[in-house]
Amino acid sequence: MARTLYEKLWDSHVVHVEDDGTALLYIDRHLVHEVTSPQAFEGLKLAGRKLWRVSSIVATADHNTPTSHWEQGITDPVSRQQVETLDANIRETGALAYFPFKDKRQGIVHVVGPENGATLPGMTVVCGDSHTSTHGAFACLAHGIGTSEVEHVMATQCLLQKKSKTLLVRFNGTVGAGVTAKDLVLALIGRIGTAGGTGYAIEFGGSAVRGLSMEGRMTVCNMAIEAGARVGFVAVDDTTIAYLKGRGFAPRGDDWDKAVACWRTLVSDADAKFDAVVDIDAASIVPQVTWGTSPEMVTGIDGSVPAPEDFKDPVKSEGVARALQYMGLTPRMRIDQIAIDKVFIGSCTNSRIEDLRAAAAVAKGRRIAANVKLALVVPGSGLIKEQAEAEGLDKIFVAAGFEWRQPGCSMCLAMNDDRLNPGERCASTSNRNFEGRQGAGGRTHLVSPAMAAAAAIAGHFADVRQLS
């Protein structure tokens, strides 16, 4: 019988099924970071249990680590304790790979996994982080999990799961110049809402997705969770295979050929049935900017801020009113007239080499506007930082007035010192514009890297397509 990619991935990992359909899924790769693992390691220890398979673990410190003054170490004692706890736990249990603070390959866990070939097609991948969906770009079943589940996977190598419904999102046609993977996924969330994908596993397809690089596909899958879907993925094609060849943990020699043959089957069968299908005309998408406190509160750069009365549902209307008040915006204000205070280019959504190149192309030969107090560029990993420096991107950013930082999660969630002060407005390439996400009282607008750079130069949101 014809199967979707989700069904193939699911079927190949089922160890046991309970009467009500709850399944035990075998987990191939477990990514670990400092914030959601300490309680799991402790629980394991208290129960006298051992790690089921050490070679499934790839760990790094990313959420708390500073992005400047590395010579001083981690000065915040609470953050330092969390990072040192991870060091100690990994020392005790072992791992396939550990990239600690200051290691050359350290970085954001969802950047580090793929770039080292630790994320391979057909894997189940878990991590105590909702943006684990990123790894779906490699046709993985990649779930963000809670800390109890982290402990469960450590102890049993399995995850308890109920099967999701399947949703195919097809981005048809070709995107226009200046329109990126970030714009595709923001436009989707604007259309189906932040709960639109709840209960579904999303397969992203269509010619515009096929045309994306692996970096772009990771950006799209990364934000599946912002559409409510715990997993999002893209089928394997030549782009996937070309990306993986020669990466650290990717197979070599005979194993490579066998693996490729296996990976080629990781596509939905032509006549497979999905529970729902959403078709989007990629050519009609313009660069996107969020205006509210939920990723679904988004519009094009040519649009304007809505008014609460535009929404009939009273809960929604009140939500919009509250969002506009929090964001300090007035109804009908044009998006390109919103001035910004800070810029953040980074996060597991948009900190890969392609993102940095896109932002640098805009910044090259220009200066950030006088009203922009801080413009941060935070590469996703040490390897990306090194590559960007080899390409001279760091010099372009610094010449334009940006700060070039060390890798980490940084101002996406502001667990370190990189944050917004109350009332500050930021053009951010991250994934969440929730109240207080980038610092208490901070105002976040989600955009692509090119659009963030354009905003930095103009001092307000600006259409990157008109800048060059």
- In angstroms, give the least distance from the CB of 316 to other proteins: 7
Q: How far is it, in rounded angstroms, from Cα 74 to Cα 268?
A: 46
Q: How far is it, in rounded angstroms, from Cα 433 to Cα 290?
A: 8
Considering only the stretches 125-133, 265-273, 338-346, 373-381, report the one whose residues sit in contact with other proteins under the rule CB under 8 A. Answer: 125-133
Residue 283 within binding range of other proteins, rule CB under 8 A: no
What residues between 326 and 385 interact with other proteins by CB under 8 A? none
Q: How far is it, in rounded angstroms, from Cα 240 to Cα 120?
A: 9
DSSP string, 57-76: EEEE--SS--SS-GGG---S
CB closer to other proteins, 54 vs 467: 54
Considering only the stretches 75-83, 171-179, 341-349, 394-402, report the one whose residues sit in contact with other proteins under the rule CB under 8 A. Answer: 75-83
Q: Which of 316, 332, 334, 373 binds other proteins (CB under 8 A)?
A: 316
Q: Which of 68, 93, 156, 213 binds other proteins (CB under 8 A)?
A: 156
Residue 129 within binding range of other proteins, rule CB under 8 A: yes
Q: In degrees rounded to 5, what are phi and psi of residue 241?
A: -70, -40
CB closer to other proteins, 254 vs 271: 254
- Buried/exposed code over 106-127 (b: 16+ C-beta within 10 A; e: otherwise): bbbbbbbbbbbbbbbbbbbbbb
SS3 for 203?
Answer: strand
Considering only the stretches 115-123, 203-211, 371-379, 450-458, report the one whose residues sit in contact with other proteins under the rule CB under 8 A. Answer: 115-123
CB closer to other proteins, 81 vs 174: 81
Residue type, 170: R
What residues between 158 and 217 interact with other proteins by CB under 8 A? 158, 160, 162, 194-195, 198-199
Q: How far is it, in rounded angstroms, from Cα 70 to Cα 192?
A: 42
Q: Which of 155, 276, 278, 467 binds other proteins (CB under 8 A)?
A: 155
CB closer to other proteins, 123 vs 209: 123
What residues between 225 and 264 interact with other proteins by CB under 8 A? 225, 228-230, 249-251, 255-256, 258-259, 262
Strands 14-17 and 23-26: antiparallel
Residue 47 within binding range of other proteins, rule CB under 8 A: yes
What residues between 446 and 465 interact with other proteins by CB under 8 A? none
What residues between 24 and 43 interact with other proteins by CB under 8 A? 24, 26, 28, 35-36, 38-39, 42
Q: How far is it, in rounded angstroms, from Cα 148 to Cα 36?
A: 9
Residues in the interface with other proteins (CB under 8 A) total 81
- In angstroms, give the least distance from the CB of 410 to other proteins: 12
- In angstroms, give the least distance from the CB of 275 to other proteins: 15
Helix 38-46 vs helix 147-156: crossing angle, to nearest 10: 50
Considering only the stretches 71-79, 176-184, 278-286, 346-354, report the one whose residues sit in contact with other proteins under the rule CB under 8 A. Answer: 71-79
Q: How far is it, in rounded angstroms, from Cα 410 to Cα 419?
A: 8
DSSP string, 172-187: ES-PPTT--HHHHHHH
Residue 135 within binding range of other proteins, rule CB under 8 A: no
- In angstroms, give the least distance from the CB of 176 to other proteins: 31
Residue 50 within binding range of other proteins, rule CB under 8 A: no
Ramachandran class of 179: left when φ > 0, alpha when ψ lies in -120 to 50, beta otherwise:
beta
Considering only the stretches 139-147, 264-272, 372-380, 397-405, report the one whose residues sit in contact with other proteins under the rule CB under 8 A. Answer: 139-147
List, in order, residues 6 or more apart from 184 with CB less than 8 Å away. 171, 175, 208, 209, 220, 280, 282, 285
DSSP string, 111-172: HHHHHTT-S-TT-EEEESSGGGGGGGGGT-EEEE--HHHHHHHHHHSEEEEPPPEEEEEEEE
